Amino acid sequence: MPEVTADMTITLDGYASGRGQSREKPFGDMDTDRLHGWMFDHRDENRVEAEAITEAGAYIMGRKMFSAEEGEWDLEWTGWWGEDPPYHAPTFVLCHRPRASIEMEGGTTFHFVTDGIEAALERAREAAGERTVSIAGGPSVLNQYLDAGLVDELRLHVSPFLAGGGERIFDGVRDLDLKPHSSRSTPWVTHLVYRR
């Protein structure tokens, strides 16, 4: 059975996205240059961790990671990721309203799952084959999987600044059965890996 991994970039105070998310501001009022600069501006120094994010055979994300809108779908909108999303694998979007799958360039197909986290994980495991399943986010989706004890490896990328509000990792998580596995620091981020 494929392992379940999760990568999440967070601030020192544990926030992974800011307040007021919208189509124009996917991370709300979060300073995304500071949050994700390690992946883009300093990729050479963080190449191993950045490349590990897109190694999975299937992904799971929440609707807010696909699109900030709630309610009825805007069927013209195919997500924030452009024509060639970085996943290049089946990606299962947890949501409350059904929608037909969207096939994108590069091998990414977004499938919309309305029957919960376990159903999404079952479908993702089947699609992943021998490769891992990655919980891509956002924080509320990751928290549900953590709370259910379904994450085998959690990889946190801690950017050294405070956000002061937004969506925080571990909110609502009652217990964790994770042990420290490894850590590595660069001037822009600290990479922490925990395993079951």
What is the domain-level CATH number for residue 174? 3.40.430.10
Domains identified in the chain, total number: 1
Q: Is residue 27 part of a domain?
A: yes
Which residues touch 151 (CB under 8 Å, ≥6 apart)?
Answer: 4, 5, 6, 135, 142, 145, 178, 196
Q: Is residue 111 part of a domain?
A: yes
SS3 166: coil
Q: Distance between CA atoms of 60 and 90, rounded to whole angstroms?
A: 9
Q: Is residue 119 part of a domain?
A: yes
Bridge partners of residue 60, in order along the sequence = 92, 135
pLDDT at 134: 98
Q: Is residue 28 part of a domain?
A: yes
pLDDT at 70: 83
Work out the number of other CB atoms within 10 angstroms of the CB of residue 77.
12
pLDDT at 95: 96
Residues of the chain scoring pLDDT < 50: none
Q: Is residue 20 part of a domain?
A: yes
Q: Is residue 59 part of a domain?
A: yes
Range of the domain at 158: 4-71+82-195
Work out the number of other CB atoms within 10 angstroms of the CB of residue 93.
25
pLDDT at 160: 97
Q: Is residue 123 part of a domain?
A: yes
pLDDT at 159: 98
pLDDT at 24: 86
Q: Is residue 98 part of a domain?
A: yes
